[in-house]
Amino acid sequence: MKGCEIVIEALKKENVDVIFGYPGGAIMEVFDIFYQSPIRVILTRHEQAAAHAADGYARASGKVGVCVATSGPGATNLVTGIATAYMDSIPIVAITGQVPTAMIGNDAFQEADIIGITRPITKHNFLVRDVDDLPRVIKEAFYIASSGRPGPVVIDLPKDVQQASTEEKCPDSVEIRGYRPTYRGHIRQIKKVAEAIAKAEKPVIYAGGGVIISGAHKELRELAEKAGIPVTTTLLGIGGFPEDHELSLQMLGMHGTRYANYAMVETDLIIAIGARFDDRVTGKLSEFAPNARIVHIDIDPTAISKNVAVDVPVVGDVKTVLKELNKIVGEKSHPAWLAKIKEWKKEFPLSYETGGGMIRPQFVVEKICEVAGGDAVIATEVGQNQMWAAQFYTYTQPRSFLSSGGLGTMGYGFPAAIGAQVARPEAVVFDIAGDGSIQMNIQELATVVINELPVNIAILNNQFLGMVRQWQELFYDRRYASTCLARRKECPKICNEPKPGCPGYSPDFVKVAEAYGALGLRVEKEKDVVPALKEAIASPKPVVIDFVVEREENVFPMVPAGASLSQMMGGMA
């Protein structure tokens, strides 16, 4: 077979049924074979969207997502999506075309050193110089991407290798010297965890994205209920523990709940499960959980004690370790601790001001949850929209919340929602977006219309780059530098607040939606929010809803940069 034919056969052997991509000169051989293959090709309108769609597909399905692009600018346009997947430990395989091997390093047309460029943001990458290596490389790429701590893998494929022939077959198994992830935790360490839980009076489970990745949500719930331990999640851990459960503290950290952050300040034992003690979670490190012993369960040994010193490390797959832990951990209750948390929940619920005539963005998110019955798959962009989606939608199932956590990529949500809709065609899928971030990949409206993907986009339109504006309001004396999206040439140079009669906003999202063939709706009154959402969910077409919301609404609670978790701003009823 030719190299290009091997690519397709290897993908079929990995049970790949869809790829997201964009063709070009250096990858034409592969796309020519795709043309006749059973693998579905979703042609995105930008390569970055192809990478994000593959990422969203992986998060929503648990399978490896695949994106394909040509050399040079096609490959470099994947970089942001690859980095997003790397930061969040998402398994994708990116296949890039490359100039012929003899021309590599000669500054050939559309040549870029994508191996060098992506080395810091991939779990591994391959430049295939010999077609005989290609079957093995693809097998290894999928194995590396999906095993251990998952992550993106790049396969760079020169055009002459695609055209060359080989008799090598796709292998049935793979073994890589020096790469053997540890799945089973050491039983002695697991016993130490059980002992620590038995001694603790104020324990907290801190659950991250590893719970979602390993499918350990049932084991996590069993542990929490058996040992009577409240559970807080990271942004990427959302959905790993049902937020309607009495033991749920919801999200912690910079924009987490007050009661989650207070619990972390007072706890005497943190059981960290598949989390990495990110700076957005810990706040000021020297004051993080000052009274707590720390247990850390993670499949990646390099993550343990990387940011926070750990007392009881357990290296292993979260699901496997929790199964063993649940066998030996004793039943326990913490009435005084849970009573205190219940008091915090009552005193400091997530809340927002009402009235004033404008729609509050938090209200929109609550109503999406209500109208969808809490069963939608929610993708988000980045910024205020992301935090409101995390705070005010009640998540009860894993793989129902897709968001760029580590890299914070504007433009992620819409193509990720496309990937989720392809992975789960029966699901109601929403992208909760800001009016700034949606324009990063708005061209993908063509993709959803042409592929008949009924993705719903809820734009929380405040005419600002909202999160940056919030920081400018709070820490830069309301100097709204380059954050007002309605700003025109005739506006005064110094302008730090919206005024009646401000210039009209561009673009008109309803007209943009209609130009692509989607349904566009605009909502300016609170009473129209629910009818618009019902119309969107009932529509077989993609829908863009432009919610005109309060312009200077802020996300609270908020832990300022450099502050401890106890030093939260706002978020008090």
Active site residues: 47, 109-110, 159, 467
CB neighbours of residue 532 within 10 Å? 20
CB neighbours of residue 392 within 10 Å? 21
Q: Spell 431-440 as b/e; 16+ CB within 10 A means b.
A: bbbbbbbbbb
Report cis status (omega within 30 of 0) of the bond before 540. Answer: no
| Sign of the dihedral through C-alpha 182, 403, 534, 249 | positive
Q: Which helix (H) or strand (E) holds 329?
A: none
Give, rounded to a whole angstrom, the gap between the first and last alpha carbons of the chain.
67
Report whether 52 contacts 411 (CB < 8 A). yes
C-alpha Rg value of the chain to the nearest Å = 24
Report whether 151 contacts 90 (CB < 8 A). yes
HSE at residue 269, side-chain half, CA atoms within 13 A, is 22
Q: How far does CA 455 lie from the centroid of its chain?
A: 17
Rounded to an integer, what distance in angstroms lies between the CA atom of residue 548 and that of residue 189?
A: 53
User: Both tokens of residue 390?
Assistant: 């995390």
Query: Which ranges of 372-457 would DSSP assign to H, the alpha helix?
Result: 384-392, 413-423, 445-450
